[in-house]
A = this chain, B = another copy of it.
Amino acid sequence: MEDTRLHDVARTGAAVVGTGFIGTVHIGALRRLGVPVIGVLGSSPERGAERAAALGVAQAYRSLDELLADPLVQVVHVTSPNVAHFDQVTQILSAGKHVICEKPLAMTSAQSAQMVTLAHNSGKIAAVCYNTRFYPLNQQARGMVAAGELGQIRLISGQFHQDWLAKDTDWNWRLEADEGGPLRSVSDIGTHWIDLTSFISGQRASAVFAELATFMPVRQKPTGPVETFSAAKGGTEPRRINTDDAAMILLRYPDGARGVMSTSQISRGHRGTLWWDMSGTDASAAWHADRPEQLWIGHRDAPNQIMLRDPSMMNPMGIAASTLPGGHSEGFADTFHAFFRQVYADVERGARGAASSYASFDDGHYEMLFCDAVLKSAQDGRWVDIPDA
């Protein structure tokens, strides 16, 4: 099935900014797709060189300028820390390159608003890495909602709970507001859920009520470097933490639908418990990331259904995001494969396709506005409107 979709992508070269866990995932997905990874840009020239060698990438750029000057590079993937996104993306688009930026798009909605304008004016493909959309059954669900198969969506619920920051000795740059922004669990994982459910339901929440919780106001920061999802070694120093270990959020949608969700990074035993459930007037649907190959469809007057990911029975959106036949499980890495397959087809075509379903900068900007509203609601203890993106 992969076959018919790859033939033109090799004409397009990619570079990846950031060489950590997720940057490596990008590189693997690009290669699998047959997109040449021309080079990488590390957090320092030394780190970049080391990672390029480790990854078998020919080139380690010493600066973004050098990267952007490389004529072999048409698409730049931004997987650097959040704080760098705005400047890097601005330069990339200004240099006339397409861009795929990790979420969150920016540190502030003022930044992301500018990025939307810049992307629009550039005429380039500008995507945000909400890869979870690309589990094929999430695309299937979007297609079902769009076709009216659930009726009008009334209630959306779900969670994204993890445990990788459950101990006060767990450390990551996202913990400190000046690097990751004032929100943590909401920004890092909550926005995945918001993007996913907005995408599937076709609706964006227009108001929000939020409660944030920081259960460990002091954590032990390692004095040396830490890789995401890896344990630190060496000494530590206590640091006051203001970002949210967990958040509980209520949502109102323009047509009267409601939502409720929570995020947590301190729930032991939950590595990545991400799920959503939508109750429509005609049927329900639900998806859990720990069984990503199943879509639950709920009925009142008939047995419920479990749709397995299987191109032989999915709708066009589900099929487009599938790589393997039914019975051959797809996972996290496959979502990047399907996501990039769609983006690079658009790059080849020179414009976003009518059926393209990846998150745009507009979607990324909405997430920033959502985060603003969450923060304000939690501070004020009241419902806060989310302006139109």
Binding site for B on A (CB under 8 A): 1-4, 6-7, 9-10, 19, 21, 24-25, 28-29, 31-34, 51, 53-56, 154-155, 157, 159, 161-164, 166-167, 209, 211, 213, 215, 228-229, 231, 245-246, 248, 250, 252, 256, 258-260, 262, 264, 266-272, 277, 279-280, 282-284, 289-308, 310, 312-313, 323-334, 337, 381-383
Is B272's CB under 8 angstroms from A267's CB? Answer: no
Partner of A268 from the list B31, B299, B333, B337 (CB cut-off 8 Å) is B299
Is A268's CB under 8 angstroms from B279's CB? Answer: yes
Is B325's CB under 8 angstroms from A269's CB? Answer: no
Is A271's CB under 8 angstroms from B55's CB? Answer: no
Tell me the bound Cα distance from A323 to B2 in angstroms. Answer: 22
Partner of A269 from the list B213, B248, B298 (CB cut-off 8 Å) is B298
Residues of chain B contacted by A267 (CB below 8 angstroms): 155, 277, 279, 284, 298
Could you list 19 examples of A-B contacts with CB < 8 Å? A3-B19, A6-B55, A28-B33, A155-B262, A209-B209, A209-B211, A211-B250, A215-B256, A248-B258, A248-B259, A267-B277, A268-B280, A272-B326, A290-B293, A292-B329, A302-B313, A306-B306, A330-B331, A333-B334
Is A298's CB under 8 angstroms from B163's CB? Answer: yes
Residues of chain B contacted by A231 (CB below 8 angstroms): 312
Residues of chain B contacted by A289 (CB below 8 angstroms): 329
Is A305's CB under 8 angstroms from B308's CB? Answer: no
On whether A54 and B6 interact (CB within 8 A), knowing A268-B284, A272-B326, A334-B333, the answer reads yes
Closest to A154 in B: B215
Is B303's CB under 8 angstroms from A308's CB? Answer: yes
Is A297's CB under 8 angstroms from B279's CB? Answer: no
